Amino acid sequence: MNFTSIPDISAEIRAGNLTALSRAITYAESKKEEHQLFAQKLIHELMPYTGKAKRIAITGVPGAGKSTFIESFGMFLIRQNLKVAVLAVDPSSSLSGGSILGDKTRMEDLSKSDQAFIRPTATGGSLGGITARTYEAVLLCEAAGFDVILVETVGVGQSETLVHYITDFFLFLQVSGTGDDLQGIKRGIMEMADVIFLNKTDLYDPKIVQDTKMDMHRSLQFLPSKDSGWKRKILKGSGFANLGIDEVWDKILEYYELIQSNGYFEKMRQEQKLLRIDDYLEELILKKLKQKTVLQKEIEDNREALERDEVTPFEIAQKLIEDNFPSL
Amino acid sequence: MNFTSIPDISAEIRAGNLTALSRAITYAESKKEEHQLFAQKLIHELMPYTGKAKRIAITGVPGAGKSTFIESFGMFLIRQNLKVAVLAVDPSSSLSGGSILGDKTRMEDLSKSDQAFIRPTATGGSLGGITARTYEAVLLCEAAGFDVILVETVGVGQSETLVHYITDFFLFLQVSGTGDDLQGIKRGIMEMADVIFLNKTDLYDPKIVQDTKMDMHRSLQFLPSKDSGWKRKILKGSGFANLGIDEVWDKILEYYELIQSNGYFEKMRQEQKLLRIDDYLEELILKKLKQKTVLQKEIEDNREALERDEVTPFEIAQKLIEDNFPSL
């Protein structure tokens, strides 16, 4: 490590040094336990300087124009004199270890601005890992003085649910007339959404846009109301043509005003911390489980019976737990 | 339960009674522990009658035409005098509990055939649950005499990786010219794919189809070779127009011939069983963990310190494990 101590890197992050911030996130994401522990100690130190940013989740089905929207929205925020961090959650294959391609080319202006920080969070196929690592990235960005943190997900269901639990506000990008392949997922995301932004209106017939908007309004009626007391809104515009971007921000400010006045903000942030404990518990236990070689030996002993179908995988797992975790 | 005993329902399933099969899958998917244990005991009885079907994963990005392909492919298989089960993995939102819409309308002919069985596997947002429950459905369908089991996933990364570990063959549906939003995921799926089927060729200019095929051939060159010794193939055709469907089946048969002669089939199936143990272990431990109220009390004790940011969620989780699982 190039930083001699936690106070050093902590001070650099608080001074807004993006190299230090980037490195700290890398430590948090590292598979090496020493790096993870270093990151967690660092976060402990920085906790008093976290919590002040607006944490916004942005999602949308493939083709909804997320990158272009974030580029426009991010630049808009910078013109409001705000510092913007973009964390892209990447549910990349655990086989390929691939990642969302070229964030620099996806968000060209934003990536050049010194008021912005763009960072993909590689998850290596571990969905549990998504929020854990993204949560740490959020805290670290806050300590580095970012005012708005945009957490981008690919809009395919699972990651949204997790990201929902580490953000305050949920923005769902949609375009007019999409397939029904993701209906089930869409309903779930609609339920989480605080604002639905009908994007790319410059590319569609205004009538189609209007129809889609009406359809959505109808769907919203069937959703349970939000705990925050906020009523879901549908806006329209275009990230590419810079239309309706300011309205999104207005709604976000309105939302924060509401939840800060009705006590929901405090309550939500505390509940989110409690949920993080559960996630870390699972993560740590599973990690330790994998390191436990005694289990591997017992599995090996059962291998032949398993091959001959005399015992099922479930039965072996059940017995292993009875033998090794009597306290559970 | 309407079945007085495991031998009863077991006999019904082996006789091909689809109501019994359906009910057994429901027990396996149930959140009630007694149902789950019933299903697991049933599977224990049926193990000798499992393992004989061809287990085929079918995936594709939204809009790739999966339902229509499966409808055509399934009807083709039925004309070959084969019994076909379709298991649709549904990574539906944990909030909405939604599901893939109307399988009966998605696959009209297939759903009417008495040689076919179509079943969505609801996962209730638990991705770990996908393979666990789908694996049980696969075993139960095999015991009911199905020759081919098609496991359909929505093509968004995570579920494919899991389904990959319970199937023998991986078919990836693509259409010409799709966005690059899912590039990273696509690479991972390409890596798992045994055959890539360029679908909807009847809708595209042959030149564009040819270009896409060439592009794909190029991408394949950069992928590591498969452990099975099989070389990935790219085919084209149309589920809707019934083009190229027979070739897909030819390649599947060719694939099985290869892996049955080179020993990969046996090895793969055994490894998959071992992986199942790991999954069940995780699942059971996490379930027990959630029931453990002593942890909740400790969390409650730390709540104020957490609110004041004197301790992080990670630190609480770490301490809980040290205190409660000294054996780990």
Per-position DSSP letters for A86-120, written without gaps between them: EEEEE---TTT----S-HHHHTHHHHH-TTEEEEE
B47 and A309: CB-CB below 8 Å? yes
Whether residues B72 and B8 share a domain: the answer is no
**pLDDT tens sequence across A223-261:** 899 999 999 999 999 999 999 999 999 999 999 999 999
Whether residues B26 and B87 share a domain: the answer is no
- pLDDT at residue B181 is higher than 50: no
| CA-based nearest residue to A62, from A85, A86, A84, A91 | A91
* CA nearest to A165 within chain B: B95
Number of H helices, E strands in chain A: 15, 7
Whether residues A26 and A77 share a domain: the answer is no
**Chain A contact for B125, CB < 8 A?**
yes
Q: In angstroms, rounded to a whole number, what is the distance separating the alpha carbons of residues A17 and A202?
A: 39
* CA nearest to B90 within chain A: A184
Whether residues B181 and B292 share a domain: the answer is no
Rg (CA), chain A: 22
Whether residues B63 and B104 share a domain: the answer is yes
Please tell me the predicted confidence (pLDDT) of residue A262.
97
Highest-confidence range of A169-178, A314-323, B198-207, B257-266, by mean pLDDT?
A: B257-266
**Chain B contact for A158, CB < 8 A?**
yes
Show the beta-strand stretches assigned E in A105-253. 116-122, 148-152, 169-174, 195-198, 233-236
pLDDT band at B99 (very low <50, low <70, confident <90, very high): very low
Please tell me the predicted confidence (pLDDT) of residue B180.
47
Q: How many domains does chain B contain in total?
A: 3
Are A120 and A154 in contact, with CB atoms under 8 Å apart? no
Are B123 and A158 in contact, with CB atoms under 8 Å apart? no
- C-alpha B286: how far from chain center: 21
Q: What is the DSSP letter of B4?
A: S
Residues 166-225 of B with CB under 8 A from A: 179-185, 187-189, 191-192
Are B107 and B118 in contact, with CB atoms under 8 Å apart? yes
Which of B66, B307, B314 lies closest to A270 in CB terms? B307
* CA nearest to B156 within chain A: A156
Whether residues A29 and A111 share a domain: the answer is no
A280 and B317: CB-CB below 8 Å? yes
Q: What CATH number does the domain containing B5 carry? A: 1.20.5.170
Are B150 and B120 in contact, with CB atoms under 8 Å apart? no
pLDDT, averaged across chain B = 85
A287 assigned to some structural domain = no
- pLDDT at residue A195 is higher than 60: yes
Which stretch of DSSP H or E encloses residue B196? strand B195-198
From chain A, pick out residues whose CB is under 8 angstroms from the CB of B288: 321, 325, 328
Which of B63, B187, B286 lies closest to A93 in CB terms? B187
3-class secondary structure, B94: coil
A71 assigned to some structural domain = yes
Q: At what angle are helices A6-14 and A33-46 packed, to 10 degrees?
A: 60
From chain A, pick out residues whose CB is under 8 angstroms from the CB of B162: none
CA distances from A118 to A74, A127, A183, B259 (A): 10, 21, 30, 45
From chain A, pick out residues whose CB is under 8 angstroms from the CB of B318: 280, 284
Residues 43-82 of A with CB under 8 A from B: 43-44, 47-48, 50-51, 61-63, 66
Q: What CATH number does the domain containing B118 carry? A: 3.40.50.300
**Residues near B111 by beta carbon (within 8 Å), at least 6 away in sequence:** B103, B104, B118
Residue at token pair 């609609």: A190
Please tell me the predicted confidence (pLDDT) of residue B179.
47
Highest-confidence range of A70-79, B157-166, B265-274, by mean pLDDT?
A: A70-79
Whether residues A126 and A8 share a domain: the answer is no
Q: In angstroms, rounded to a whole number, what is the distance separating the alpha carbons of residues B224 and A15?
A: 44
Which of A100, A277, A312 lies closest to B40 in CB terms? A312
B19 assigned to some structural domain = yes
Q: In angstroms, rounded to a whole number, what is the distance separating the alpha carbons of residues B180 and B132?
A: 31
Of the residues B27, B49, B71, the one at which a domain ends: B49
Instruction: Tell me the three-class secondary structure of A54-89, residue by residue.
Output: EEEEEEECCCCCHHHHHHHHHHHHHHCCCCEEEEEE
A285 and B281: CB-CB below 8 Å? no
Are A295 and B328 in contact, with CB atoms under 8 Å apart? no
**Residue A224 to chain B, least CA–CA distance (Å):** 10
How many Cα atoms sit within 13 Å of A59 on the Cβ side?
A: 29
From chain B, pick out residues whose CB is under 8 angstroms from the CB of A101: 180, 183-184
**Residues near B279 by beta carbon (within 8 Å), at least 6 away in sequence:** A313, A317, B128, B131, B132
B85 assigned to some structural domain = yes
Whether residues A131 and A9 share a domain: the answer is no
**Rounded mean pLDDT, A274-294:** 80
Tokens representing A301?
């002993």
Q: In angstroms, rounded to a whole number, what is the distance separating the alpha carbons of residues B151 and B171?
A: 10
**Rounded mean pLDDT, B44-60:** 94
Please tell me the predicted confidence (pLDDT) of residue A95.
33
pLDDT band at B93 (very low <50, low <70, confident <90, very high): very low
From chain A, pick out residues whose CB is under 8 angstroms from the CB of B125: 157-158, 161, 188
**Rounded mean pLDDT, B13-28:** 94
Residue at token pair 């819409």: B101
Whether residues B71 and B194 share a domain: the answer is yes
From chain B, pick out residues whose CB is under 8 angstroms from the CB of A286: 282, 285-286
| CA-based nearest residue to A192, from A56, A67, A74 | A56
A277 and B187: CB-CB below 8 Å? no
| CA-based nearest residue to A313, from B4, B227, B51 | B51
Are A49 and A179 in contact, with CB atoms under 8 Å apart? no
**Chain A contact for B17, CB < 8 A?**
no
Residue at token pair 């990151």: A39
**pLDDT tens sequence across B291-300:** 777 678 888 8
Write the DSSP assignment of B254-299 as a string of letters: HHHHHHHHSSHHHHHHHHHHHHHHHHHHHHHHHHHHHH-HHHHHHH
Whether residues B166 and B297 share a domain: the answer is no
Residue at token pair 């869409």: A186
Please tell me the predicted confidence (pLDDT) of residue B219.
84
CB pairs under 8 A between A and B: 247
B29 or A22, higher pLDDT: A22
- pLDDT at residue B21 is higher than 70: yes
From chain B, pick out residues whose CB is under 8 angstroms from the CB of A181: 62-63, 66, 154
**Chain B contact for A293, CB < 8 A?**
no
Residues in chain B: 328
ipTM of the complex: 0.79
B285 and A285: CB-CB below 8 Å? yes
**Chain B contact for A258, CB < 8 A?**
no
Hey, which residues does B118 pair with through a beta bridge?
B86
Are B139 and B50 in contact, with CB atoms under 8 Å apart? yes
**Rounded mean pLDDT, B292-321:** 85
**Rounded mean pLDDT, A309-318:** 88
Q: In angstroms, rounded to a whole number, what is the distance separating the alpha carbons of residues A249 and A235?
A: 11
Q: Which of A46, A100, A158 to mutate to test the interface with B (most CBs of B within 10 A)?
A: A158
**Chain A contact for B274, CB < 8 A?**
yes
Please tell me the predicted confidence (pLDDT) of residue A151.
93
Tokens representing A46?
């920085």
* CA nearest to A279 within chain B: B317
Whether residues A34 and A141 share a domain: the answer is no
pLDDT, averaged across chain A = 85
Which of A61, A185, A325 lies closest to B92 in CB terms? A185
A221 assigned to some structural domain = yes
B272 assigned to some structural domain = no
Which of A157, A285, A315 lies closest to B93 in CB terms? A157
A285 assigned to some structural domain = no
- C-alpha A138: how far from chain center: 9
Residue at token pair 């270009």: B211
- pLDDT at residue B217 is higher than 80: yes
* CA nearest to A103 within chain B: B181
**Chain B contact for A124, CB < 8 A?**
no
B62 and A91: CB-CB below 8 Å? no
Domain span holding position B14: 1-49
Whether residues A15 and A118 share a domain: the answer is no
**Residue A145 to chain B, least CA–CA distance (Å):** 18
Please tell me the predicted confidence (pLDDT) of residue B156.
59
pLDDT band at A44 (very low <50, low <70, confident <90, very high): very high
A320 assigned to some structural domain = yes
- C-alpha B212: how far from chain center: 27
